[in-house]
Amino acid sequence: MRDVAILGAGMTRFGELWDRSFREIGIEAGLGAMVDARVSSAQLDGVYFGNMAAGSLIEQEHIAPLILDYAGLGSRHLPAIRVEGGGASGALALHEGYLAVASGLYDIVVVGGAEKMTDVTDERGSDIASATADHEWEVVFGATLPSLWGMIARRHMHEFGTKREEFAQVSVHDHEMGSKNPNAHYRNRITLPQVLGAGPVAEPLGMLDCAPLSDGAAAVVLGPLEIARKYTDTPIRIAASQVATDSMALQHRREITTVDATVESAQRAFRLARRAPSDVQVAEIHDAYSIAALVSLEDLGFVPKGKGGPEFASGRFAHGGAGPTVNTSGGLKSQGRPFGAVGIAQVVELVRQLRGEAKDRQVSGAQLGLAHNLGGTGATSVVHLLERVN
Amino acid sequence: MRDVAILGAGMTRFGELWDRSFREIGIEAGLGAMVDARVSSAQLDGVYFGNMAAGSLIEQEHIAPLILDYAGLGSRHLPAIRVEGGGASGALALHEGYLAVASGLYDIVVVGGAEKMTDVTDERGSDIASATADHEWEVVFGATLPSLWGMIARRHMHEFGTKREEFAQVSVHDHEMGSKNPNAHYRNRITLPQVLGAGPVAEPLGMLDCAPLSDGAAAVVLGPLEIARKYTDTPIRIAASQVATDSMALQHRREITTVDATVESAQRAFRLARRAPSDVQVAEIHDAYSIAALVSLEDLGFVPKGKGGPEFASGRFAHGGAGPTVNTSGGLKSQGRPFGAVGIAQVVELVRQLRGEAKDRQVSGAQLGLAHNLGGTGATSVVHLLERVN
């Protein structure tokens, strides 16, 4: 297998982009990444595209050639392939792009992710998001993603004494970070009393525990590490790309306070890269619901099981804490949640951090970053370890 | 890159499978392929899954871990990844499985494809299929897949003098072949007067020029060629796996009587495998509409541009003709069209042909097979060359 590097990164602003179409935002992100990598379209070998539900959201399947075409690259007849795994679609597309370059069949590949969640009503958008849970065992009985994560939160509180205030702190942290991110959907700071006092969505989760439904796109350019310096002074090596899955329905899992897919994907990634959680300085984790951040920090190996709440509340994962610093982008809560774009946007943020280009969000001395992208309630987990090549 | 072989193949019957769920048929095909390959679940490294529109058809996205889970493999937390490209979803999934094994990261991989088209009304199913054309430039103005292929047929008749009877002959041929295939959706023979006299769908295409909307699933097991003989006496080598794309909307194409994506994917595949069209004895080509078969035979290089009609009507591609023998499975018209499963089912048929297990459909001396899978009106084309390893 060849070593694979990230040569460039780009993204749109996340938010309610009512004035811009799916194809427009896909192109902006992709071309942004190509300009950043100083790669011309003549050098491209293929495109991967992460997207959850364009069929349901904008009545358009088969979107990978569409985006390529509208980017003005249709006449080159490049391979263009869509990958889907709910909220993990972006990171899965990155995994496929990584394999394409690692195999030697492709050299330069653009991996993008996009979703247009706000072209439908909030209710319809929420239903479509819930199609990433088990339709026959969960959704037909009325379960939605927040209600399922709400059950996980209740059980986590019961088993480990996790406090409501502790996971509320995740949202406060995310908005603090996102306030410094010009691409973020929400750039306002919020307070603990605001999170605790927000209207309930699925108790104990309230409005401010839940990431929004957003529009947005993000992209990176991949290539073989051995030629990366032709394109960039700071190639970022993909030290590991690992995917793991679990049962879709919560009741079929071994337990619900651990997401085994996260545990497996992280352990495999650290083993392959010969690194440990303590080697990571900066991490983007999947905080679609505040409780998910705590569960993920435990399952990724950053804190022991059950200790996520107090450790998070202690400020350990904040800027300047013992680390790793988490969700400097603002995470899904503040930067936003365009499902298929999330996993790529996480990597865009890590690229900026590892290059030292994250401005007032910068984590000093960041050498190893981790991206953690989940689908549904964790039936898919993807972990990428990214390393600055000095 | 490692050489990749197909170790086993399996599929369900295609048809209106109202008594069986999406997950059931996915499992039947996958386990069938594993039994055929004599691979146990403990040996699996990952699963790829081709599917066009489960989100719209059965309100379920995120289906790759779902199928894995319902197959009883959830507890192994394997990677499971869905790939989508309209009617080419199956072959795209095979391309990704091929890269996964070729890269060296994965050894044994199951690649499946499934679609459940008949759980919605025919009208809704047709709308969903048309989501593989350009929504903003074609579908909102009323264009559907058959009407777009109907335009291609009219233009082909105008430019090359292709006769209505010539492409009608494709359907007669397909049903003749499909009558020998126990898994086919339609096993009845049909006559030329029947095709010509059938009700119009989008003139010049009538009811019997259009493949049905079917339910069904198909799967293959892939592994490195170097260890293939541990699993099978007749490994089938993937000599080439190539994807190409084009503009989605017909009016943006260079011309509409040539599908450039087919030309490109075929030329790349033959070049990579150092073979020529004349080396192929058996081919499964994408005949979603009868005219598509003629256009494809030209664009794949089997006959010169414009000669598809008379060459097909001459019986050249029939059993015992000069060859290659085309669509021994019955093709999409007779074997059926469960979109995401089509590209894998083509490969299942070729595996049977190359192993010499195709019974009264057998093409004698088949050594090299070609599978050609299209998305939409040809914005995606995937060509696989499969070779019997003696």
* Chain segment B246-282, per-residue pLDDT in tens: 999 999 999 999 999 999 999 999 999 999 999 999 9
A62 vs B23, B260, B376: nearest CB: B376
pLDDT in tens, A197-216: 999 999 999 999 999 999 99
A62 vs B62, B64, B132: nearest CB: B132
DSSP state of A251: G
CB B185 within 8 A of CB B334: yes
Q: Write down the residue that tokens 């079929």 correspond to.
A: A252
Q: What is the pLDDT of residue B390?
A: 82
What's the rounded mean pLDDT across residues A30-35?
96
pLDDT in tens, A40-56: 999 999 999 999 999 99
Q: What is the pLDDT of residue A251?
A: 95
A75 confidence band (pLDDT: 50, 70, 90) = confident
Question: What is the bridge-based pairing of β-strands B46-50 and B109-116?
Answer: parallel
CB B243 within 8 A of CB B265: yes
Q: Which of A70-84, A178-192, B339-353 has the lowest mean pLDDT?
A: A70-84
Q: What is the pLDDT of residue B74?
A: 83
Question: Is pLDDT above 90 for A101?
Answer: yes
A135 vs B1, B58, B242: nearest CB: B58
Q: Residues of A numbered 256-275 whose beta carbons fall under 8 angstroms of chain B's beta carbons: which are they?
A: 260-261, 264-265
Higher pLDDT among residues B169 and B72, named by residue? B169
pLDDT in tens, B100-153: 999 999 999 999 999 999 999 989 999 999 999 999 999 999 999 999 999 999
Q: What is the pLDDT of residue B323?
A: 87
pLDDT in tens, B273-315: 999 999 999 999 999 999 999 999 999 999 999 999 999 999 9
Which of B109, B145, B245 to mutate to probe the A interface, most A CBs <10 Å?
B245
Q: What is the pLDDT of residue A12?
A: 98
Q: How many residues does chain B have?
A: 390
Q: DSSP per residue over B184-218, as a string? A: -S------HHHHHHSPEEETTEEGGGBPPP-EEEE
Long-range contacts of A197-203 (CB under 8 A, 24+ apart): A201/A146, A201/A150, A202/A144, A202/A146, A202/A147, A202/A149, A202/A150, A203/A150
Q: Residues of A numbered 134-163 whose beta carbons fall under 8 angstroms of chain B's beta carbons: which are they?
A: 134-136, 139
Question: Is pLDDT above 90 for B77?
Answer: yes
Question: Is pLDDT above 90 for B73?
Answer: no
Q: For chain A, how far is it from start to end, CA to CA, in angstroms?
A: 21
CB contact under 8 A, B99 and A104: no
pLDDT in tens, A8-21: 999 999 999 999 99
A74 confidence band (pLDDT: 50, 70, 90) = confident
Higher pLDDT among residues A119 and B159, named by residue? B159
CB A219 within 8 A of CB A33: yes
Share of residues in chain A with pLDDT > 70 (%): 100
B62 vs A60, A81, A132: nearest CB: A132
Q: Residues of B numbered 176-215 whose beta carbons fall under 8 angstroms of chain A's beta carbons: which are they?
A: none
Share of residues in chain B with pLDDT > 70 (%): 100
Q: Residues of B numbered 3-62 whose beta carbons fall under 8 angstroms of chain A's beta carbons: which are they?
A: 21, 23, 46, 52-53, 55-56, 58-62
B60 confidence band (pLDDT: 50, 70, 90) = very high
Q: Is B264 helix (H, G, I), strand (E, B) or coil?
A: helix
Q: What is the pLDDT of residue B90?
A: 98
What's the rounded mean pLDDT across residues B67-86?
93
CB contact under 8 A, A248 and B81: no
C-alpha separations of B158 from B114, B151, B259 in Å: 37, 11, 17
CA distance B42 to B23: 21
CB B297 within 8 A of CB B308: yes
pLDDT in tens, A349-388: 999 999 999 999 999 999 999 999 999 999 999 999 999 9
Q: Please, what sign has the CA dihedral across residues B341, B345, B346, B347?
A: positive
Q: Which of A86, A87, A82 is nearest to A97 (CA)?
A: A82
Structure tokens at B47: 């699963």
* B262: Cα within 13 Å, side-chain hemisphere: 29
Q: Which domains are seen in chain B, by residue range?
A: 4-121+214-236 (3.40.47.10), 126-211+238-388 (3.40.47.10)
What's the rounded mean pLDDT across residues B197-204?
98
Q: What is the pLDDT of residue B71?
A: 87
| ipTM of the shown complex | 0.97
Q: In DSSP terms, which residues pair with A237 in a beta bridge? A: A5, A387
Q: Residues of A numbered 80-119 whose beta carbons fall under 8 angstroms of chain B's beta carbons: which are they?
A: 80-86, 92, 95-96, 99-100, 102-105
- Compute the nearest-CA separation of B314 from chain A (Å): 32
Structure tokens at A233: 């002074």
pLDDT in tens, B29-53: 999 999 999 999 999 999 999 999 9
Question: Is pLDDT above 90 for A390?
Answer: no
Taking phi over 0 as left and psi of -120 to 50 as alpha, with beta for the rest, A370 belongs to beta
Structure tokens at B141: 């103005």
Taking phi over 0 as left and psi of -120 to 50 as alpha, with beta for the rest, B15 belongs to left
Q: What is the mean pLDDT of chain A?
A: 96
* β strands within chain B, DSSP E: 4-11, 46-50, 80-84, 109-116, 200-202, 205-206, 215-224, 236-245, 282-284, 325-326, 368-375, 380-388
CB B56 within 8 A of CB B127: no
Share of residues in chain A with pLDDT > 90 (%): 96
Q: What is the pLDDT of residue B378?
A: 97
Q: What is the pLDDT of residue A72?
A: 86
pLDDT in tens, A238-265: 999 999 999 999 999 999 999 999 999 9
Question: Is pLDDT above 90 for A70?
Answer: no
What's the rounded mean pLDDT across residues A162-176?
98
What's the rounded mean pLDDT across residues A261-288?
98
CA distance B198 to B13: 26
Q: What is the pLDDT of residue B70?
A: 87
Q: What is the pLDDT of residue B202?
A: 97
